[in-house]
Amino acid sequence: MKNQFLTLLTLLLVFPACFAQQPKKPNASEIHESIKKLNFLGSVLYLAAHPDDENTRIISYMANEVKARTAYLSLTRGDGGQNLIGPEIRELLGVIRTEELLAARRTDGGEQFFTRANDFGYSKHPDETLAIWNKEDVLSDVVLAIRRFQPDVIINRFDHRSPGTTHGHHTSSAMLSVEAFDLTNDASKYPEQLNATTTWQPKRMFFNASYWFYGSQEKFDAADKSNMLSIDTGVYFPSSGLSNTEISSLSRSQHKSQGFGNTGTRGSSLEYIELIKGDMPKNANSVFDGIDTSWNRVKNGKAIGKLITEIEKEYDFKNPSASLPKLVKAYTLIQQLEDSHWKSIKTEDIKNVISACAGLYLEASAQHNWATINEDVNLTIEVINRSASNITLQSIVNPNNVSISKNINLENNTKFSFNEHYVIDSKAETTTPYWLTEQGSLGMYKVEDESLIGSPETPRSQNVTFNLVIENTTIPFTKPIVYKTNDPVKGEVYMPFEIVPIVASQLAEPVVIFENNTPKQVAVVVTAGKDNVEGTVSLNTPKGWTISPKSLAVSIGHRGETKTVLFTVTPPSSQSEVKITATVTVNGTTYSKGLNEIDYDHIPFQTVVMPQPSKFVRLDIIKKGENIGYIQGAGDVVPESLRQIGYHVAIISPDDITPANLKHFDAIVVGIRAYNTVDDLAYKQNVLFDFVKEGGNLIVQYNTNHRLKVDNLAPYKLQLSRDRVTDENAKVTFLDPKNDVLNVPNKITEADFEGWTQERGLYFPDAWGKEFTPVLGMHDKNETEKQGSLLVAKYGKGHYIYTGLSFFREFPAGVSGAYRLFANMLSIGKEDINTEPKLNK
């Protein structure tokens, strides 16, 4: 079943974000726009790599001005980025960004699709991207999306001809799109897809050119545009009082986790699209030139087109229900179509128009926003017809497919409300994003049910169908069950109705680090989905590790309640990295998935139930120097990570950077991008340099050379660049093998650079004074060696270290080698406070 939530979305022109969870209630102008859209049978697919890549001006223009079915295929869900609104990263961030794209499409009128490709982080080149993604699988998903959506026109955001000039995911998206264009109509390609789809040939493909692909506006103005169409996306819609460019900004502003709030513009706004495949439109104003976008493209469609044209012309803005007789007639004709593609699309669309014209409100709401299997759910059903039309509620069909006869004559503006209950099927699936139920790889999500591939969300399983007789024709309207409540501040709040497991559990910390043999207590959080849950909690015990006790009883009285139990974990005596999962056994059934809530105002509330093992790391580490001062920059978890391995870390504000304060510290660490974000550091450099001169260690993590607040980043010449090594497995060579940071107190070897995550590092310096010693060399494929990732200089009696290595990413991932190397950086020059002889000189 196609996600019905989505088909509803295609209907509306503009919908304010704060009502994202509420049912749509289109007004007379919006209904009229939807009727016009019923008469257009053309489709545009916009294609790129990430949430936020899409050009919402074009999507909104195609959906609202051209009235085409318009969709955005984002190859990934954007898990690899940063989250500006909350703590979620990786998979949970991907869920938020999925919902933000859906919120954007609710605003601009498009639909949304994905592939199984995982946003694994920055990549410089499509070669790297396509090696980490399973290229064949992602290509197959692009072909599938095209065969299902059947676009006449595809518009790529990126240029397939310029690998290496932008994110590797970007170029890959365009390359796969170009490749798919020639495969989708070939029945020998991915034949298994043809059980549920048909072959399809898009008519043309464009690249959405922009000045930033040309280097500057001047260069783009001067470029040859004979192979380009220009589209004025600045059109004004009197029906909504908005310019298209204002709608596109509202849409773009849904990317709140990325801080992409956008201010609308008004007036003409040209977009250029360059023809990549197919023939150039003769009419320079239409991407659909030469394509029949009327009902004539469908067998027996002509009469429907004629009818809808009449409905559009005769539409009464004061009484939309006057259109009902002809709308129902058109609905009946659509049911007789042989073309299943347009039949299913236009059926959903015209049902939405019929419902809106009749002022229907159909709702099934539950007492809670979740339930568990076998639970008896009490539903409140509300049905109202707000038109003079003769409408009967014939029956309702509950989620277990049981039809309940009603035969209620729905008199104009008379509300009918009644209760129904049903027991949730014992085989009903937990409500959770389908792409997270199994653990995937770095580059790909694992999806067992192939019919779900490409869908933005898991289709809702708990729905109620209302069979209404309108104008002597039975029309079924299916609605997902909702939960609604009143919030004293927000007012009416709607939430989706979900099925949760009877019990969920997860370790409180995703990563636990042991710096020595000392046992640690770890907490397991257990959440009950129903009342009176009695179970036993246990942890898997990896070889060499000891966990006590073996199991713990847990008893939870009320649904939604959480209890915490504590285990003592003793690590082995040598270095070890393991995964530990908490399991709860209730009545012989084991539950081992964690439960997470995504709760933000701009997207629907939802739970994510997924495998959630924690990483346990026994480090083999020696530390010297205990007291660390940390100057925070753009925000990172390095201080917490250092505390986990036993350092005393004090956060020092710029005001506290005084000689008297600094002398208590063995080392000062500067947080990521501090010299880009903290103005006051401009006046503190000399204090920090004097601290080094007197014997302290100063470790500065990466900054960008854009908007640096200081002229002198280091006591010696140091020039930042954009050099980065994005391959987290790039080979690391020791340029100065005898250097203390590689030997004291921990002997660093190649093994310490195994298991790094996302990248090696970024914004490395590319020129430095002779006082600096470059310690490590590394490079991405087909690039020259970068030597600026770790630079050490003696200054006075102390040491200044500049490093672009991504410790801020490696620490929270529990990467042992990163901890050991950082301990050496903190220890450098501290051998005299220890009695051990120095190993290398």
Tell me which residues touch Zn ion (CB under 5 A): 50, 53
Spatial CA neighbour of 348 closest among 37, 71, 32: 37
CB 101 within 8 A of CB 74: yes
Tell me how far, at minimum, the Cβ of 255 lies from Zn ion, in Å: 11
CB 352 within 8 A of CB 34: yes
- Point out the residue whose Cβ comes nearest to Zn ion: 50
Q: 129 vs 199, which CB is nearer to Zn ion?
A: 129
Q: 53 vs 471, which CB is nearer to Zn ion?
A: 53
Q: Cα 147 to chain center, whole Å?
A: 24
Burial of residue 539 (CB within 10 Å: 0-12, 13-18, 19+) is buried
Q: 50 vs 67, which CB is nearer to Zn ion?
A: 50
| DSSP helix/strand/coil, 44 | strand
Six-digit token string for 168? 């590797």
- Give the Å distances, CA to CA, from 343 to 285, 293, 295, 301, 351: 29, 15, 11, 10, 12
| Amino acid in position 608 | V
Concatenated DSSP letters for 353-413? HHHHHTT-EEEEEESSSEE-TT-EEEEEEEEEB-SSS-EEEEEEE-TT--EEEEEEEE-BT
Backbone angles phi, psi at 435, to 5 degrees: -80, -5
Q: 116 vs 593, which CB is nearer to Zn ion?
A: 116
Q: 164 vs 476, which CB is nearer to Zn ion?
A: 164
Tell me how far, at minimum, the Cβ of 756 lies from Zn ion, in Å: 23
Tell me how far, at minimum, the Cβ of 157 lies from Zn ion, in Å: 8
Tell me how far, at minimum, the Cβ of 722 lies from Zn ion, in Å: 17
Instruction: List the beta strands (DSSP E) in 158-246.
Output: 204-207, 228-232, 236-237, 242-243
Helices and strands in the chain, H and E counts: 19, 44
- Give the Å distances, CA to CA, from 731 to 722, 727, 728, 751, 754: 20, 9, 9, 11, 9
| DSSP helix/strand/coil, 98 | helix
Q: 147 vs 157, which CB is nearer to Zn ion?
A: 157
Tell me how far, at minimum, the Cβ of 170 lies from Zn ion, in Å: 6
Tell me how far, at minimum, the Cβ of 173 lies from Zn ion, in Å: 9
Concatenated DSSP letters for 422-450? EEPPTTPPP-S-GGGSS---SSB---S-G
Using CA atoms of 178, 50, 723, 773 in order, give the dihedral in degrees to the nearest 10.
-140
Q: 58 vs 790, which CB is nearer to Zn ion?
A: 58
Cis peptide before 549 (omega within 30 of 0): yes
CB 372 within 8 A of CB 498: no
Tell me how far, at minimum, the Cβ of 69 lies from Zn ion, in Å: 24
Q: 33 vs 54, which CB is nearer to Zn ion?
A: 54
Tell me how far, at minimum, the Cβ of 74 lies from Zn ion, in Å: 9
Q: 11 vs 132, which CB is nearer to Zn ion?
A: 132
Backbone angles phi, psi at 571, to 5 degrees: -80, 165
Q: 81 vs 774, which CB is nearer to Zn ion?
A: 81
Backbone angles phi, psi at 528, to 5 degrees: -95, 135
- Tokens 């007012």 belong to which residue? 491
Q: 48 vs 242, which CB is nearer to Zn ion?
A: 48
Q: 169 vs 406, which CB is nearer to Zn ion?
A: 169
Give the other-Cβ count within 10 Å of 709's Cβ. Answer: 17
- Give the Å distances, CA to CA, from 537 to 534, 547, 563, 611, 617: 10, 12, 11, 16, 22
Tell me how far, at minimum, the Cβ of 121 lies from Zn ion, in Å: 12
- Give the Å distances, CA to CA, from 636 to 633, 643, 791: 8, 13, 21
Q: 84 vs 839, which CB is nearer to Zn ion?
A: 84
Q: 135 vs 157, which CB is nearer to Zn ion?
A: 157
Six-digit token string for 215? 């280097």
Tell me how far, at minimum, the Cβ of 780 lies from Zn ion, in Å: 19
Q: 50 vs 760, which CB is nearer to Zn ion?
A: 50
Tell me how far, at minimum, the Cβ of 202 lies from Zn ion, in Å: 23
Q: 165 vs 390, which CB is nearer to Zn ion?
A: 165
Tell me how far, at minimum, the Cβ of 81 lies from Zn ion, in Å: 9
Tell me how far, at minimum, the Cβ of 260 lies from Zn ion, in Å: 12
Cα–Cα dist 114/100, whole Å: 13
Tell me how far, at minimum, the Cβ of 53 lies from Zn ion, in Å: 4
E strand or H helix that includes residue 492: strand 491-496
Q: 53 vs 636, which CB is nearer to Zn ion?
A: 53
Tell me how far, at minimum, the Cβ of 599 lies from Zn ion, in Å: 26
Tell me how far, at minimum, the Cβ of 47 lies from Zn ion, in Å: 12
How large is the C-alpha radius of gyration of the chain?
30
Concatenated DSSP letters for 635-661? --SHHHHHHHTT-EEEE--GGG--HHH
Tell me how far, at minimum, the Cβ of 158 lies from Zn ion, in Å: 9
What lies within 8 Å, CB to CB, of 162 at 6+ separation is 171, 213
Tell me the HSE value of 599 on the side-chain side, using a 13 A CA sphere: 7
Tell me how far, at minimum, the Cβ of 76 lies from Zn ion, in Å: 9
| DSSP helix/strand/coil, 273 | strand
In the chain the first and final C-alpha atoms are separated, in Å, by 71
Q: 54 vs 246, which CB is nearer to Zn ion?
A: 54
